[in-house]
Amino acid sequence: MVVKANFKKGFEALGGKLTVTSEVICFRSHKVNIQSADVSISLSDIQNVIPYNSLGIVPNGLKIVTDKREYKFVVSERDKILQVLQK
């Protein structure tokens, strides 16, 4: 599954695409961002996945928690991603 996403890196939200497979979650940023980021999270490293509302009201946030750090994404099709991760 591939969806449009923003990755929160510090104060900037990097635009790109989030790919979810049966083994890994990968984020690849667009080249037009000031910063760039390629994030790869093994599903076996994920301790928790927490949906949240961006701007306090929009139900499109996804926080992924591993033992080393937290990753925040704003995604399209959040419910579909949650279904895939819960399997």
In angstroms, the CA 39 to CA 23 distance is: 14
Look up the pTM and report it.
0.88
Per-residue pLDDT of the chain (87 residues; tens, 9 = 90+): 999 999 988 888 889 999 999 899 999 988 776 677 789 999 999 999 999 999 899 999 999 999 999 999 999 899 999 988 877
Question: Contact at 8 Å (CB) between 25 and 58?
Answer: no
Q: Side chain identity at 3, as an amino acid letter?
A: V
